[in-house]
Structure 1
Amino acid sequence: MTILPQTTTEELRASVRGRVWLPADAGFDEVHRPWNLAIEQRVRAVVEVADAADVSRLVRFASERNIPVATQPSGHGATGRASDAILLRTAGLDTIDIDPIRMTARIGAGVRSGELQRAAAAHGLTALPGSSPAVTVTGAALGGGLSWFGRAFGWMADSILAAEIVAADGTTQRVTPAIDPELFWALRGGGGDLAIVTALELQLRPAPSVFGGRQLWPATHAGQVAAVFRSMTETAPGALTLWLELLSFPGAEPLVAIDSTFLGDEATARNLMHETSLLPVPLSDTRAPISVADLGTITAEPTDPGPGASRGELLTHLDDSALAALVDDPIAPLMTVQIRHLGGALAQPSDSPHGALAEPYAVYMFGVPATAQVAESIAGKQAALADALPTSGRKPITFLNPGERLSDALPDASMRRLRQLKEDRDPDGIIRGNFGILD
């Protein structure tokens, strides 16, 4: 890690209104860490900006000295590319302005999904939230973003109406389909390597009623549950989203679950999922009318940082052999294996870098690498499962792990456009996303 000279650190502190931490400062170890504590990043400094103007001042400062700036609002998605850069924290950009008539929201880059959902729910509206309320909306949308309501409304990125950004030279710009359409295209799912987004304007959707929750069984019923899950997905309308969860927590018996949300009334949802009533009685069934502000309770993902090792893949189908690969053997040392039903609006044309998502399912495999030996075992299990499943070779950006590249997610034509933009707009690599366009 390169240490900033004393004169440079003094200039940095004088350049921004927000708080600056250096490696020798108290509290630095906490503020510089990513969400995934298994990722190491040795940054030159951490800057928690006071406002969007602060972002511009910081980038001008960095650009003049050829120092990269890496943005991590909450630290999700970190890959280690922030090392040797100034780490930008945008938690202070937390404004939320809802226009219930136009059904739009203008949000700062630090707004987390749960916060936006609470604000939208007050008006009977919803954004496109993922499984975790702790992830920032901007971070997820820049990676395309898979949502509970993606089958009804498409990628999170498809809901972006405008972006307020700071370019690599520190200048600010509002980007829309009419103003810089090429950059607008790139920001709607091309990653965070081109500009620093300080605010987004998003299209919200009506959500007068939502039904959802988790049905949970012992893993001894995994085969039956998986078969019912597949059967329901074959006829599910876009308003119904189903995720199959295989769970194996230390010290507890393995479990299997079906997580669901339905944009509509309870009676219709229960009718669409009537096949689950033919299964053995579940250990629990939390399905109920639910506020869109509480969707994060369905999977109950951790809301505090911790170590993790993940791998995601897109699946071309889910036949008997695929189900057998998932349920015939214990998933340990993995803690979770999640199968998401995609399709619906996600399979429709999308003017975004990823484009239409042709694959009907995604798998996400997660474990906690407590030791180097466990980490190796987790990676081996993930590889074995991936080899046994009908993967397409592509994956969503938000499912990429630190050992993968942006090109593992996006089509070649999109990568060519993104590379040209990076070379034109940021040839010195001042803006550094979690995944590099030119890597």
Structure 2
Amino acid sequence: MNALHGLRSTIRGQIWLPGEPDFDTARRPWNLAVEQPVEAVVEAADAGDVAALVRHARAAGLTITAQPNGHGATGRTAGTILLRTRRLDTLQVDPATRRARVGAGVPSGRVQAAAAPHGLTGLPGSSPVVSVAGVALGGGLSWFGRAHGWAADSVTAFDVVDADGRERHITADTEPDLFWALRGGGGSFAIVTALELALHPAPSLYGGRVLWRAEHAPAVLDAYRGITAIAPHTLTVWLDLLHFPGAAPMVAIDVTYLGDPNEARELLGPLDRLPSPLSDSRQPMSVAELGSITAEPTDPSAGSSHAELLTTLDDAAAKALLDEPVEPLLSVQLRHLDGALARPSNSPHGPLTEPYALYMFGLPTDPARAEAVTAKQRALADALPTSGRKPFTLLNPSESISDAFSPNVVARLRDIKRRHDPHHIFRANFPVEG
């Protein structure tokens, strides 16, 4: 405890210790269904503060878990100092070089807002509040992954604090193994304080959601299969089977197209031949508005998720998806992958050759409901043609890196961990140690 109280003479940022006001709020993860026990919470003022914390932890035999705001938390934090990096919020966009320098606490929505006026985009996912650094450390499945690959593939450099408390600039040339590991292998190796990434042209974007009553799900799924079978890499289409509390079940198509709206409407023509939808928000839009498509919550809440990668979406898979109601799940989402995601990648994941990702989400409002949600997720996964691995970025708290990576990749990540953090100063949400 003396070592923890010594933080106040080391850190310029804010510190919360057990029993102090707001400690429980400060340690709270994004997913409120996850209990996150920690010894202290530190909100670093800047990268120098992070370095000072690491040096203090190393000298005192303490362990650090880094999180900007708690996305991806698994609860494997007992005995650690929780480092919040939200105040590392530098953001610089250079339209001439199509590069951005992004602090570890910057959410993807801020990058999109800064890049949009220049006709550029990062590689954001569905939520604008997830940190860009967290997305990159997990690989990152983006709306534009079919056109540009993993979000991590666009990272050109990392600023990190290593296990000795040194601030370092890491590239593929200076530290190839560490650079490889950080581009999708998690936060076990160093604390990322900022990153540099390539931006991509986005002079025109068309996107939105179309929503129908659930009775039309077979026709919508059939149209989805036809569209994704021939979709160009600039078109991304997701299908959602939805059952919100207090509402009738529905089916939705979410779409983005990096190109002319007229081209998008032609590619999505099969949707217009379906029964009249409940709503249709498709329109030309800014890349800064991507978060409006799925309208995910922007405040912490409880949830239970399960992801799989599908090897096919044939007739048998389609039947399994629609055979039973979605309930007790809130949503069952199919994301079309392929495209640039299937190309070679200098990252732990490597190419993502499965054509679809399945993401199932439910609300564990009480123990019985939590058990029912988990059982439904397991049953649906067992009924579908899955590959046996999952995207690291979509792992749930009960899973490990072995669910995402091959044994050879896991062995390489563990070797990099031993060389760069032999004293286990850093503990990631999904530790490579097992």
TM range, smaller chain: over 0.9
Alignment of 1:38-437 (within 5 A): 38-437=33-432
- In the TM superposition, residue 328 of structure 1 has moved relative to its aligned partner by 2.2
State TM-score, norm by structure 1: 0.98
SS in 1 for 2:230: coil
- Matches of 2:154 and 2:90, distance apart in 1: 18
SS in 2 for 1:94: coil
- Matches of 1:212 and 1:10, distance apart in 2: 51
Number of aligned residue pairs: give it.
434
- In the TM superposition, residue 8 of structure 1 has moved relative to its aligned partner by 2.2
- In the TM superposition, residue 128 of structure 1 has moved relative to its aligned partner by 0.2
Number of the residue aligned with 1:29: 24
- In the TM superposition, residue 168 of structure 1 has moved relative to its aligned partner by 1.3
Q: Is the 8 A contact 2:17 2:23 kept in 1?
A: yes
Q: Residue type matched to 1:257 in 2?
A: A
* Runs of at least 4 residues off by over 3 Å: none
- In the TM superposition, residue 10 of structure 1 has moved relative to its aligned partner by 3.1
- In the TM superposition, residue 368 of structure 1 has moved relative to its aligned partner by 0.6
Q: Residue type matched to 1:85 in 2?
A: T
Q: Which runs of 5+ in 1 are unaligned?
A: none
Q: Is the 8 A contact 2:329 2:363 kept in 1?
A: yes
Q: Residue type matched to 2:301 in 1?
A: G
- In the TM superposition, residue 62 of structure 1 has moved relative to its aligned partner by 0.7
- In the TM superposition, residue 41 of structure 1 has moved relative to its aligned partner by 1.1
- Matches of 1:9 and 1:181, distance apart in 2: 35
Q: Residue type matched to 1:97 in 2?
A: Q
- In the TM superposition, residue 83 of structure 1 has moved relative to its aligned partner by 2.2
- Matches of 1:345 and 1:412, distance apart in 2: 24
- Matches of 2:33 and 2:79, distance apart in 1: 18
Q: Is the 8 A contact 2:3 2:60 kept in 1?
A: no
1:244-302 superposed Cα distances (whole Å, 9 cap, x missing partner) = 00100111000000000000011000000101111001111100001000100000000
Q: Is the 8 A contact 2:236 2:255 kept in 1?
A: yes
- Matches of 2:239 and 2:17, distance apart in 1: 44
Range with bigger deviation, 321-330 or 263-272:
321-330
Q: Residue type matched to 2:122 in 1?
A: A
- Matches of 2:400 and 2:182, distance apart in 1: 17
- Matches of 1:402 and 1:10, distance apart in 2: 30
